Amino acid sequence: MSKLTATFTRVTNAISDKAARYIPMSKASKIAKAVIMVMVCMAVMPLQAHAAGFITEAIDILGIVIIAIGGGLGIWGGVNLLEGYGNDNPGAKSQGIKQLMAGLGLILVGLLVIPQLETLLPS
């Protein structure tokens, strides 16, 4: 029990020593702090408008890339599907229809879902 009391006393003394060394900010340093905060806010405001334009452009490019990938996958699936019908290969037909549907799904995601990302971000 005495070790616990000694530890508690040391911690209490350390806290009171730190409290005794605390010096409140002067009025001039409070004003300087406020001026620095205002200057930082003024510097950041134009960057937010630029960031919004960048994000809008990035979302547009993302939509185009996803549509292009979906189109390529759909074309590849169509070729596999036709090849499966030509060779009477059920495995190629199955793979082709899966690729075709996945490509169409990606195109729909690029057209309908990706533009909705802009509504999630504050303007």
Predicted structure pTM score: 0.57
Looking at the chain, the whole-number percentage of residues with pLDDT higher than 70 is 75
Contact present, 69 and 108 (Cβ < 8 Å): no
Determine the longest span between alpha carbons in the chain, in angstroms. Answer: 91
- Whether the pLDDT of residue 25 is over 60: the answer is yes
pLDDT of residue 30: 77
Contact present, 68 and 87 (Cβ < 8 Å): no
13 CA to centre of own chain: 47
Whose tokens are 């900010």? That residue is 25
Encode pLDDT of 49-97 as tens digits.
Answer: 666 777 888 889 999 999 999 999 999 999 999 988 888 888 889 999 9
5-29 mean pLDDT: 67
Whose tokens are 């802009």? That residue is 118
pLDDT interval class at 1 (50, 70, 90): low
The pair of structure tokens assigned to 79 is 């070729």
**Which tops the pLDDT comparison, 38 or 21?**
38
Which three-class secondary structure state does DSSP give residue 90?
A: helix
pLDDT of residue 16: 63
| Crossing angle (nearest 10°) for helices 27-87 and 90-108 | 150
pLDDT of residue 38: 80
